[in-house]
Amino acid sequence: MQFSSRELRDLLIAWVALGFAFSLLYVPVSATTMADVLVSQTFAFEFGLSLATVGVAFLLHELAHKLVAVHFGQHAEFRADFGMLALAVAGGLAGFLFAAPGAVHHRGRITPREHGLIAVAGPLTNVALAAVSLGLLTVFPDLAWRGLFINVLLAGFNMIPFGPLDGRTVLDWSPVAYAAAAVPTIGPALFLFFG
């Protein structure tokens, strides 16, 4: 798999911006405390934890899309959405977060099945990362719990069959494949978020 310098830059910026935005949820700042909080050990810990969990979940989700697209002969590259990244950071400052950091764009001839498999690769990667996180709960509880939470949410959210989300593409390809992927992703995400 090859990466352009622009793609590597976009991946790095999105990874750092997401880590920063999520850190702000766990270490709230105000205009008067921002300078002190951002240099604190607590913020540094949360930033590192967010990079290792949210950031890795996002990176591997997008790289899974790219890997499968390239496997099917596509030219595929990640492009950051800088407006959405700014919104994520602003949301983190305000105490809520909606993150859509960008997407892998691919081009070339593919079948609906191949397009569906490219789409489902990201959420299934998050399912695998959630399983790894579950296995690490007794060894690294902070890292594992955050990893489990974010990967379950990412998998479930992305399988919603709406707009540009992965679930819409999978459902367009195959309702059976969609059901097989949606049940183990959306259900646990709803449980974690509302339960």
Cα separation, 32 vs 25, in Å, equals: 17
CA 137 to chain centre: 20
Report phi then psi at 62, rounded to 5: -70, -40
Cα separation, 4 vs 176, in Å, equals: 36
Catalytic status, residue 62: yes
Model confidence, pTM = 0.90
How buried is 16 (Cβ within 10 angstroms: 0-12 exposed, 13-18 middle, 19+ buried)? middle
Q: How far apart are the first and last CA of the chain?
A: 40
Q: Is the model's pLDDT at 195 over the cut of 70?
A: no
The average pLDDT across 18-33 equals 80
pLDDT tens digits for range 68-101: 999 999 999 999 999 999 999 888 888 887 888 9
Please tell me which residue in 7, 62, 77, 114 is annotated as part of the active site: 62
pLDDT tens digits for range 127-167: 999 999 999 999 999 999 999 999 999 999 999 999 889 99
Cα separation, 105 vs 117, in Å, equals: 14
